[in-house]
């Protein structure tokens, strides 16, 4: 089996598993669940644990030599070159609040890069998926990032208050500001061209970002730190300093503004 064929099989496995996991998350979302705090202001729910268990069992049974990293279970180093990286429910706070702004986020990593990935919001029935070199799709339809080349009137997944406080608002006339709890879902919506950028000034984990990072690249967008620095992934886990997911035509303009803050 060629490497390309092998990756295509992994991609198909990943999509099937994420759809099954999303259906499970949706059942919890619709019928109710218990939730608690792992740490202060850091919620987790029965659904997070159940989705993690389903995907761990399904994926490692199919690929026993692959590694595993998840927000909700113990990491393991596989004997092969590939590793599954998972956030069972990215946006748990929204999930607990019954807001449809969460997603199952799963990436397959190889050589420090995501090579296949999916972000699935079962509440909105949006499945975003990509394979390296094979493009990105939302519900089977090819998606491309926005082609906008200026910030006037841009649609931003960012805090308007932060822009006003740092006087960036003056450089984005007519921009609209929006917020969704899940960083993976926000990034996926940028990849789909629904917004020009998603900005997080705070640290994120690799499982929050890796799958959506691939979506962005395959849709023709950029994914970096807010300084413009490349995001790197390494085992056993990676903390990313910040995230800027942006259409390629506005990415450098945003970096010029944002790096004055960091």
| CB neighbour burial string for 162-187, b if at least 16 within 10 angstroms, e if fewer | ebeeeebeeebeebebeebbbbbbbb
- Boundary-marking domain end, from 119, 142, 165: 142
Give me the number of domains the chain comprises. 2
33 pLDDT above the threshold of 90: no
Question: Which two three-digit tokens encode residue 158?
Answer: 């960012």
H helices present in the chain, as ranges:
3-31, 46-62, 92-96, 160-165, 183-191, 206-218, 248-258
Q: Give the pLDDT mean for 42-50.
A: 89
257 pLDDT above the threshold of 60: yes
How much is the mean pLDDT over the chain? 93
Q: Is there a domain that residue 150 lies in? A: no
* Burial environment of residue 143 by CB neighbours within 10 A (0 to 12, 13 to 18, 19 or more): buried
Query: Do 134 and 161 fall within a single domain?
Result: no
Domain hosting 214: range is 155-258
Tens-digit pLDDT profile for residues 54-96: 999 999 999 999 999 999 999 999 999 999 999 999 999 999 9
Q: Is there a domain that residue 248 lies in? A: yes
1 pLDDT above the threshold of 70: no
Q: Is there a domain that residue 147 lies in? A: no
Query: Do 37 and 133 fall within a single domain?
Result: yes
Tens-digit pLDDT profile for residues 95-139: 999 999 999 999 999 999 999 999 999 999 999 999 999 999 999
Measured between alpha carbons, how far is 240 from 11 in angstroms, rounded to an integer? 25
User: CA dist 187 to 79, 90, 118, 157, 224, Å?
Assistant: 31, 12, 12, 9, 12
Q: Which residues pair with 171 in a beta bridge?
A: none
Under 8 Å between Cβ of 117 and 104 = no
- Boundary-marking domain end, from 142, 168, 199: 142
**pTM for the whole structure:** 0.94
Query: Do 8 and 134 fall within a single domain?
Result: yes
- Boundary-marking domain end, from 142, 167, 190: 142
Question: Which two three-digit tokens encode residue 231?
Answer: 């995001």
């Amino acid at each position: 089996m060629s490497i390309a064929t092998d990756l295509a099989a992994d991609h198909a496995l990943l999509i099937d598993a994420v759809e099954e996991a999303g259906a499970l998350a949706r059942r919890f979302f619709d019928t109710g669940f218990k939730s608690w705090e792992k740490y202060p202001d850091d919620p987790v729910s029965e659904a997070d644990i159940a989705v993690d268990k389903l995907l761990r069992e399904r994926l490692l049974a199919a690929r026993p030599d692959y590694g595993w990293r998840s927000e909700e279970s113990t990491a393991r180093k596989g004997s092969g070159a590939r590793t599954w990286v998972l956030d069972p429910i990215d946006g748990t706070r929204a999930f607990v609040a019954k807001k449809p702004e969460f997603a199952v986020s799963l990436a397959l990593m190889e050589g420090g890069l995501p090579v296949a990935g999916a972000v699935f919001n079962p509440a909105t029935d949006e499945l975003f998926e990509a394979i390296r070199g094979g493009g990105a799709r939302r519900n089977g339809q090819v998606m491309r990032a926005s082609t906008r080349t200026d910030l006037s009137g841009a649609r931003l997944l960012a805090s308007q208050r932060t822009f006003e406080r740092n006087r960036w608002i003056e450089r984005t006339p007519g921009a609209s500001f929006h917020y969704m709890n899940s960083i993976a879902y926000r990034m996926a919506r940028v990849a789909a061209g629904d917004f020009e950028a998603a900005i997080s000034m705070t640290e994120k984990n690799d499982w929050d970002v890796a799958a959506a990072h691939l979506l962005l690249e395959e849709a023709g967008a950029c994914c970096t730190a807010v300084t413009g620095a490349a995001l790197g992934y390494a085992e056993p886990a990676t903390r990313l300093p910040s995230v800027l997911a942006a259409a390629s035509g506005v990415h450098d303009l945003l970096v010029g503004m944002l790096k004055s803050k960091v």
